[in-house]
């Protein structure tokens, strides 16, 4: 086994094995007469006077070639001629060279006598010489070998199945969704035909097993679908994202076999589900919720009382996953998740909120007034709801990142053809260098955000820690989405400020990314805590 203790060792090996025997010009950094300096210019390219042949072994490699008889070794003047020359060097490279020179010559493979004067080594010969340093200082060969190309893939590379899904979603979004986007935004309502089409295309259950009616692909595939839909309409992407990353995942991971058979099948085929966590008094402090779940011994049911707000997809939902506290004495450890049917007595959905962006995606208040839920409608374990919410939201942040990347790409795709066609001063806008710098930088930002999103997605799929990467991906993607959408309006000018182009809608839709499933400040706190855990002693 080889040990590498310090980084300067690598530099020393390079100097010792290759550079020292070469004929090099005098270094401008060399201070003549100072022993702490590494003299690489002691070897002349032309042979000098022959050294004494009576010597049984050559000088150690750290000393270079011997000087000609009757001459002094350059750079090693007497102390009287150069004050300070007698002082011991403290250079790390010099110390390692002296250490190598002090070892027994046999250990370094140079114990045989030299019958003739030492030659001058050209570079090609130098590379063939046996290393003159202890083997313990050599860099391990298995660390130098490049990994096999088949073991490394870029995080943005896709499998054949993922690529097929991505291509089919792109066609669906362009041909089916795009013609209805403006109407849905103006009416602030989701077209029921679009919802049905999403189920028919399998977009609402990408990760669910095929036995329940799902597509049976992975988390990254779901992110790819969300991204492609968001390029055309982020409102529909919200519905697909929440259904896949929060609801389908919750039933797959925490549902009983009976619950999967009864509810997961519906979520895969025709039922939209809502994730009911946020309340008026619990936003970023999600576990400060006041909704109560009380066990009724007489009926063997849970009774839910409380109100949820800002619930996405609640107008279309036929099923709700509701978080309520079953034991306030335990604090957040009393929070439990319940499956509630829309037809359950006591459940009511309020009117849709008027919003700046993602208008087609419904956002409503959901109230529970003595809503009775059977005992077998508890999702997971009683008191484990807070763990479920944390895990699901951490994964959901990656989905939001994919949504924001798709939004940025959609705005960019809308603006670029326009600025290549429109001319000012007889030149297409895209040909002005100042404009080129702007859209080149915007494209770079979009790509960097996309890499961060799919890096987090791949980590999640591989079962590796991804909390920090998910927070970074969501934060970066939301910032890029806002910036790029805003720039696209600037590039196209006044027309970008009107509904004639999708840039203004994308700009309005981008703002929600900094708010839901963890604000930007919450992402920064998450990232900072992760860094502290890494570096705090």
Indicate if 461 belongs to the active site: no
Q: Which residue has the tokens 């007595």?
A: 345
Buried b (16+ CB within 10 A) or exposed e, 169-202: bbebbeebbeebbeebbeebbbbeebbebbbebb
Residue 230's φ and ψ, nearest 5 degrees, are -65, -25
The residues near 330 (Cβ < 8 Å, ≥ 6 apart) are 383
Q: How many CA atoms lie within 13 A of 477 on its CB side?
A: 32
How many CB atoms are located within 10 Å of the residue 18 CB?
15
Is residue 313 within 8 A of residue 272, CB to CB? The reply is yes
Per-residue tokens: 51:
């050294």
Residue 388's φ and ψ, nearest 5 degrees, are -60, -45
Is residue 486 within 8 A of residue 468, CB to CB? The reply is no
- CA gap 236, 192 in Å, rounded: 11
Q: Which of 207, 228, 279, 517 is catalytic?
A: 517
Per-residue tokens: 497:
């400020």
Residue 482, judged by CB atoms within 10 A of its CB (0-12, 13-18, 19+), counts as: buried
DSSP string, 429-491: GGGSHHHHHHHHHHHHHHHHHHHHHHHHHHHHHTT---HHHHHHHHHHHHHHHHHHHHHHHHH
Residue 112's φ and ψ, nearest 5 degrees, are -75, 145
Residues labelled as active-site residues: 517
């Amino acid at each position: 086994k080889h040990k590498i203790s310090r980084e300067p060792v690598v530099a020393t090996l390079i100097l010792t094995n290759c550079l020292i025997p070469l004929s090099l010009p005098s270094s401008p950094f060399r201070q003549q007469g100072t022993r702490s300096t590494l003299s690489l210019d002691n070897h002349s390219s032309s042979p000098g006077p022959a050294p004494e042949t009576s010597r049984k072994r050559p000088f150690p490699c750290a000393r270079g070639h011997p000087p000609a008889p009757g001459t002094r070794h350059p750079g090693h003047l007497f102390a009287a001629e150069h004050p300070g020359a007698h002082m011991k060097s403290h250079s790390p490279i010099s110390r390692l060279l002296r250490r190598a020179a002090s070892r027994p010559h046999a250990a370094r493979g140079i114990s045989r006598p030299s019958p003739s004067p030492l030659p001058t080594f050209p570079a090609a010969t130098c590379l063939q010489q046996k290393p003159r340093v202890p083997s313990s200082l050599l860099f391990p060969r298995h660390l130098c070998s490049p990994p096999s190309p088949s073991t490394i893939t870029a995080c943005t590379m896709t499998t054949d199945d993922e690529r097929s899904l991505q291509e089919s979603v792109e066609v669906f979004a362009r041909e089916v969704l795009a013609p209805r986007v403006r109407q849905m935004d103006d009416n602030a309502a989701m077209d029921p035909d679009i919802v049905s089409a999403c189920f028919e295309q399998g977009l609402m259950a990408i990760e669910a097993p095929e036995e329940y009616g799902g597509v049976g692909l992975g988390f990254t595939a779901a992110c790819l679908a969300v991204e492609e839909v968001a390029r055309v309409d982020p409102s529909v992407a919200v519905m697909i994202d929440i259904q896949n990353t929060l609801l389908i995942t919750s039933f797959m991971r925490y549902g009983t076999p009976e619950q999967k058979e009864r509810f997961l099948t519906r979520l895969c085929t025709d039922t939209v589900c809502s994730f009911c966590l946020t309340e008026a008094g619990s936003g970023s402090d999600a576990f400060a919720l006041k909704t109560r779940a009380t066990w009724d011994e007489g009926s063997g049911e849970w009774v839910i009382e409380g109100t949820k707000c800002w619930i996405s997809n609640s107008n279309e939902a036929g099923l709700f996953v509701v978080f309520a506290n079953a034991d306030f004495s335990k604090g957040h450890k009393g929070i439990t998740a319940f499956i509630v049917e829309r037809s359950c007595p006591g459940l009511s959905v309020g009117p849709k909120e008027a919003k700046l962006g993602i208008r087609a995606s419904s956002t409503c208040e959901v109230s529970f007034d003595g809503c009775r839920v059977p005992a077998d409608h508890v999702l997971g374990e009683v008191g484990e709801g807070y763990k479920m919410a944390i895990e699901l939201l951490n994964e959901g942040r990656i989905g939001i990142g994919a949504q924001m990347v798709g939004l940025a790409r959609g705005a960019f795709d809308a603006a670029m053809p326009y600025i290549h066609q429109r001319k000012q001063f007889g030149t297409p806008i895209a040909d002005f260098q100042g404009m080129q710098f702007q859209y080149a930088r915007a494209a770079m930002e979009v790509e960097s955000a996309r890499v961060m999103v799919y890096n987090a997605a791949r980590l999640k799929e591989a079962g590796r820690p991804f909390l920090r990467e998910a927070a970074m991906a969501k934060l970066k993607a939301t910032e890029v989405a806002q910036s790029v959408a805003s720039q696209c309006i600037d590039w196209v000018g006044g027309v970008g400020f009107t509904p004639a182009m999708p840039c203004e809608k994308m700009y309005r839709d981008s703002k929600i990314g900094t708010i839901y499933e963890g604000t930007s400040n919450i992402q920064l706190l998450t990232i900072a805590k992760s860094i502290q855990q890494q570096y705090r002693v």
